[in-house]
């Protein structure tokens, strides 16, 4: 006899990218920002510490909602804050998808989506991107018990973007809500935030992990119309964001000058990385995120990953059954990318 829910026993569980804690690697495997965050973040954490941690935090993170609302041009009650955008994705899945119901995902994309469906005892349907990373028509098709669709935009691992116009058309055809996961949108040319006001089916999630350099803090949020927010709030943990992260995230999003400056640096290094890879004979997808998806015509990606790791450089090896494998290399600082390219040059 087993004590466990059959769905939990049957699943393998999400395996995050390696997180060595010692600093022995040049770490280009989980799309972290290589630069320290806005100095306003440390100040805000110190102030929050001075106020003390005896009391519970604001369950709604209202100071963050108000600050983010001003910057994003929406009302505060269109925002739910989360413990990283992974928390947001969990809340959204639990709100819309019941046992046996259907969640649609693009493939290859963020692997966690499928895990979230499995945790719910729900079914998931993977719709393959075309080889040029565009979405086929069937992504918008109706299907029995379809309750939610996820779309990472920019997508991971490709860094490619589906245009806001196409996202709106998709949402209009779908019989259920669409969560546009904009974890990387601050590095892109376009985003779908404005679509939230135009469609009650569209939700946009964001994170402070990447473009605000706060992966260690854990803070993300979702923007949607109030009737959806009202339901999402019922599902989230009461205190899903702690007092320190609320203070820090509010300071971080308040420093838009820092974000803009950081973006310029990341985009320049992304260009350097893609060009360097192509010079070495790699295929590199044009990315609108802070990473580049790359394959080599002759060298197996797995061997390159292993050899880079032996040489102290950690990139992400991804193998998508039915699609293929490759390397996803995060945009680090220039010196890190130059070191990575130099090691690759010696291998190919
Ligand atoms: C597409 C996508 N969405 C969401 C996340 C989760 O980000 P976080 O939980 O740090 O906000 C990631 C992290 O790598 C991601 O790649």
| pLDDT value of residue 177 | 98
Ligand 1 atom with minimal separation from the 207 CA:
11
Output the CA 199–ligand 1 centroid distance in Å: 24
β 102-107/146-152 pair status: parallel
Q: Token match 């110190």: residue?
A: 46
pLDDT score of 99? 97
DSSP-assigned beta bridge partners for residue 265? none
Q: What is the distance in A from the centroid of ligand 1 to the CA of 230?
A: 23
Q: What is residue 238's DSSP assignment? A: T
> How far apart (Å, rounded) are the C-alpha atoms in residues 7 and 121?
6
Distance CA 295, CA 280 (A): 11
Percentages helix, strand, coil for the chain (3-state, rounded to 5) are: 40, 20, 40
The residue among 192, 343, 191, 194 whose CA lies nearest residue 263 is 191
Distance 50 CA to ligand 1 centre (A): 31
pLDDT of residue 84: 98
Torsion of CA 67, 69, 75, 76, to 10 degrees: -50
Q: Ligand 1 centre from 89 Cα, in Å?
A: 9
Q: How far is the CA of 183 from the centre of ligand 1 (A)?
A: 6
CA of 202 to the centre of ligand 1 (A): 18
Provide the token pair at 76: 């505060």
CB 154 within 8 Å of CB 290: no
Query: How far, in Å, CA of 104 to CA of 178, rounded?
Result: 9
Closest listed residue to residue 326, CA positions, set 123, 149, 159, 207: 159
Instruction: Select from 81, 110, 192, 211 the residue to mutate for testing ligand 1; criterion: most ligand atoms less than 8 Å from CB.
Output: 110
149: β partners: 104, 178
Q: pTM (2 decimals)?
A: 0.97
Pocket test for ligand 1, best of 17, 156, 212, 241 (most atoms within 8 A of CB): 156
Atom index in ligand 1 nearest the CA of residue 87 equals 9
Mutate to test the pocket of ligand 1, among 82, 90, 111, 112 (most ligand atoms within 8 A of CB): 112
What was the pLDDT predicted at 22?
Answer: 82
State which ligand 1 atom lies nearest to the alpha carbon of 89: 4
Give the three-state DSSP class for 204.
Answer: strand
Task: Look at residues 108, 238, 223 and name the one whose alpha carbon lies nearest to residue 160.
Answer: 108
DSSP 304-325: HHHHHHHTTEEEEEEEETTTEE
- Give the 3-state secondary structure of residue 294: strand
What is the DSSP code (8-state) at residue 12?
-
CA 243 – CA 177 distance, rounded (Å)? 31
pLDDT at 15: 87
Q: Give ligand 1 pocket residues (Cβ under 6 A).
A: 31, 84-86, 110, 152, 156, 181, 183, 207, 209, 215, 220
Q: How high is the pLDDT of residue 281? A: 98
Report d(CA 185, CA 181) in Å as an integer.
9
Q: What angle do CA 221, 36, 335 make, to 5 degrees?
A: 120
pLDDT by residue for the chain (348 residues), tens digit each?
789 999 999 999 998 888 988 878 999 999 999 999 999 999 999 999 999 999 999 999 999 999 999 999 999 999 999 999 999 999 999 999 999 999 999 999 999 999 999 999 999 999 999 999 999 999 999 999 999 999 999 999 999 999 999 999 999 999 999 999 999 999 999 999 999 999 999 999 999 999 999 999 999 999 999 999 999 999 999 999 999 999 999 999 999 999 999 999 999 999 999 999 999 999 999 999 999 999 999 999 999 999 999 999 999 999 999 999 999 999 999 999 999 999 999 999
């Amino acid at each position: 006899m087993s004590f466990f829910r059959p769905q939990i026993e049957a699943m393998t569980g999400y395996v995050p990218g390696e997180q060595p804690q010692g600093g022995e690697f040049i770490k280009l495997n989980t799309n972290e920002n290589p630069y320290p965050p806005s100095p306003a973040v440390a100040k805000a954490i110190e102030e929050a510490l001075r106020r003390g941690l005896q009391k519970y935090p604001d369950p709604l993170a209202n100071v963050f909602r108000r600050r983010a609302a001003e910057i994003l041009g929406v009302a505060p009650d269109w925002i739910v804050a989360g413990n990283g955008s992974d928390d947001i994705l969990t809340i959204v899945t639990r709100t819309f998808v019941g046992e046996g119901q259907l969640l649609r995902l693009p493939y290859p994309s963020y692997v966690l989506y499928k895990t979230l469906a499995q945790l719910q005892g729900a079914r998931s349907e993977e719709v393959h991107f075309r080889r040029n990373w565009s979405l086929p028509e069937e992504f918008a098709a109706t299907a029995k018990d379809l309750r939610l669709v996820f779309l990472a935009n920019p997508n991971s691992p490709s860094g490619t973007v589906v245009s806001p116009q196409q996202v709106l058309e998709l949402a209009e055809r779908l019989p259920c809500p669409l969560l546009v996961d904009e974890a990387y949108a601050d590095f892109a040319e376009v985003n779908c935030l404005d679509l939230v006001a135009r469609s009650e089916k569209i939700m946009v999630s964001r994170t402070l992990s990447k473009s605000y350099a706060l992966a260690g803090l854990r803070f993300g949020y979702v923007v949607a119309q109030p009737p959806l927010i009202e339901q999402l709030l019922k599902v989230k943990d009461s205190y899903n964001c702690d007092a320190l992260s609320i203070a820090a995230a509010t300071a971080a999003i308040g420093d838009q000058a820092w974000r803009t400056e950081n973006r310029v640096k990341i985009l320049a290094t992304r260009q350097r990385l893609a060009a360097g890879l192509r010079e070495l004979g790699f295929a590199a997808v044009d990315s609108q995120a802070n990473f580049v998806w790359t394959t080599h015509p002759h060298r197996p990606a797995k061997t390159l990953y292993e050899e880079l790791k032996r040489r102290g450089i950690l990139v992400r090896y991804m193998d998508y059954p039915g699609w293929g494998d490759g390397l996803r290399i995060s945009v680090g600082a220039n010196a890190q990318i130059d070191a990575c390219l130099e090691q690759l040059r010696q291998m190919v």
